[in-house]
Structure 1
Amino acid sequence: MSTITYNFLGKVALVTGSSSGIGAATAQLFAKSGANVVVTGRNADGLAKVAKQCTDVSPKQLTALEVVGDLTNKEDCDRLIETTVQKFGKLDILVNNAGLSSMAKITDDDYMEKYMHVMSANLNSVVYMTHKCVPYLAKTRGNVINISSIAGMIPFRQSMSAYCMSKAAVDMFTKCMAAELGPKHHIRVNSVNPGMTHTSIVQRMAGLSKEKDDVYWQQYTKLYPIGRCGSPEDIANAVCYLANDAAAGFITGTCLLADGGHIAANVNLDSKK
């Protein structure tokens, strides 16, 4: 998958959930485009690996800032923001990517526990990080990109109601913040709604073997109009497009589909031949 680089020289980009997957690819593309990058997540080893990759692709060999933390914890969020501003003196771009999924039926005894866990990671962390970053983003006329999902637009049948609700809420939060933060603070707010993007999240969430995970992705590949599922780099490209004022300066309050035609073709696994 080829990538387009943008000019983010002098910009500071904070990407949450960046120890792997979409977050890692996004951090690397920002670094490759000249930005100072902040990577954060719970996996210290993963962060160290991604930080090195960011430095390796940076035109000026800029060192990525690593901050280990859990964004469901407000103290960790505060420390992340404070460390970023202390290190770089400002913040230009906030990418709220951290999140998780959990499968549960409404009739399950532990449904509410799983529901609260998903909402804390996928919605509350996005709201809190945005809330705390507004003063810094206002100074730079920066922008926020939230990583949502097609699951916020269409229901998934696989016991994923909590995940779908969390992403639908992220989409509405995106639109509300675009309307609220634009006039006074000059902050743009958008979301990217990926389709099936090939990361390890499905295998972890469903507890699939590697063989069954491979079959799962092959099934979606056959159904997607574009002929393949997404890659983390696909979503990173969408994020960096929205973050770039020269390319997307007139775009705010948008939920940008990057789904390979999933919604247009009404794709679901029940429709496979």
Structure 2
Amino acid sequence: MISINMSVTYDFTGKVALITGSSGGIGAGIAVQLAQSGASVVVTGRNADKVAEVAKQCLNVSPKGIKPLEVLADVTKQEDLKRMVDQTIGRFGKLDIVVNNAGALFFGIITDHNFYNTYKNLMSVNLDSVVYLTHICVEYLEKTNGNIINISSIASKRTVRNTSAYCIAKSALDMFGQCMAAELGPKRIRVNTINVGYIPTGIYESSGVSRDSVETYTELYRQRLPVGREGRPIDVAQAVHFLASDHATFITGANLVIDGGDLAANTCMDNL
């Protein structure tokens, strides 16, 4: 007889979740969502005030008032990543969920004088940090049958003008996730990837896009995307919620596209 569960609840009580780049945007949304479901969360970033603000939000929604661990860290520095993990284990004694969310976006073409440095910087943030953090977290995730969720982009699945370095980095991240799902499966560690579409967070302004341009792009996406709106951090947070939960124990090596129909409708910035 097939058993059917008509209600879905997420209870992360007793789980420890480390989310890189969680001092704002998508990462902050993920941290708050997991904290609201009972998880002990590690909030990370380079700005102390922003890290503290997100940690406060997590504490306010935590059912048992669990105080998050705040870690100032630059994911491009191995010593910072190592310290992040050490502090997590020191504070909570274990690790169940790693969300590799930290990312950077830069524009440029290969003939630009500074292109190679741009490329190296993007790979350092978007790929190398994920590889190293995964490397040092395996021993802890194996003990908890934990899981890893990598935040990628739909830019991994198509070319975008002036954005080749970013597309390359995210494509590599997708493949890394699939390789790790196969490699870490025998250790009972699941690894999945979320390919995110247009979500207007601070990453665009940090890459040099003006606020006016972001607002213009956002309005155009509202008109063109099949769902009729831009993406929001909660859209990704809810997907992480599911993939990290016991409802997804048969899912590993997957690439979950969350883009409001962007790929299907070919609603690329090049075409706006």
Question: Which TM-score bucket, shorter chain as reference?
Answer: over 0.9
User: Which amino acid in the other structure matches residue 206 of structure 2?
Assistant: R
Q: TM-score, length-normalised on structure 1? A: 0.95
Q: CA deviation at 1:270?
A: 4.6
Residue number in structure 2 paired with 1:192: 194
In 2, Cα distance between equivalents of 1:178 and 1:204? 32
Residue number in structure 1 paired with 2:178: 175
- Residue in structure 2 matching 1:83, options 62, 83, 87: 87
Residue number in structure 1 paired with 2:76: 72
Q: 1:58-207 counterparts in 2 under 5 A? A: 58-157=62-161, 159-183=162-186, 185-207=187-209
In 1, Cα distance between equivalents of 2:52 and 2:99? 19
In 2, Cα distance between equivalents of 1:63 and 1:171? 33
Q: CA deviation at 1:104?
A: 1.2
Q: 1:31-42 counterparts in 2 under 5 A? A: 31-42=35-46
Residue number in structure 2 paired with 1:13: 17
Q: CA deviation at 1:267?
A: 1.4
In 1, Cα distance between equivalents of 2:254 and 2:122? 23
Residue number in structure 2 paired with 1:264: 264
User: Which amino acid in the other structure matches residue 245 of structure 2?
Assistant: N
Q: What is the aligned-residue identity percentage?
A: 54
In 2, Cα distance between equivalents of 1:78 and 1:268? 37
In 2, Cα distance between equivalents of 1:199 and 1:165? 21
Give the secondary structure class of the aligned counterpart of 2:204.
helix
* CA 269–17 in structure 1, closer or farther in 2 if over 3 Å, else same: closer
Q: CA deviation at 1:118?
A: 0.4
Equivalences, count: 265
In 2, Cα distance between equivalents of 1:138 and 1:269? 41
Give the secondary structure class of the aligned counterpart of 2:148.
strand
CA contact (8 A) 1:22 1:233 kept: yes
In 2, Cα distance between equivalents of 1:41 and 1:265? 34
In 2, Cα distance between equivalents of 1:216 and 1:21? 17
Q: Which runs of 5+ in 1 are unaligned?
A: none
In 2, Cα distance between equivalents of 1:58 and 1:51? 10
Q: CA deviation at 1:137?
A: 0.1
CA contact (8 A) 1:5 1:29 kept: no
* CA 82–269 in structure 1, closer or farther in 2 if over 3 Å, else same: closer
User: Which amino acid in the other structure matches residue 168 of structure 2?
Assistant: M
In 1, Cα distance between equivalents of 2:49 and 2:269? 35
Residue number in structure 1 paired with 2:253: 253
Q: CA deviation at 1:231?
A: 0.1
Residue by residue over 1:217-243, the C-alpha shift from the partner in whole angstroms, topping out at 9 and shown as x without a partner, is: 111111100001100010111111100
- Residue in structure 2 matching 1:50, options 51, 54, 61: 54
In 2, Cα distance between equivalents of 1:118 and 1:20? 19
Give the secondary structure class of the aligned counterpart of 1:263.
helix
CA contact (8 A) 1:219 1:269 kept: no
Q: TM-score, length-normalised on structure 2? A: 0.95
**Aligned-CA RMSD value:** 1.1
In 2, Cα distance between equivalents of 1:15 and 1:244? 15
In 2, Cα distance between equivalents of 1:49 and 1:24? 10
Residue by residue over 1:53-83, the C-alpha shift from the partner in whole angstroms, topping out at 9 and shown as x without a partner, is: 0000000111000000101000001000000
In 2, Cα distance between equivalents of 1:101 and 1:268? 16
In 2, Cα distance between equivalents of 1:84 and 1:270? 42
Residue number in structure 2 paired with 1:223: 224
User: Which amino acid in the other structure matches residue 267 of structure 1?
Assistant: T
Q: CA deviation at 1:50?
A: 0.2
In 2, Cα distance between equivalents of 1:160 and 1:80? 30
In 2, Cα distance between equivalents of 1:269 and 1:144? 30
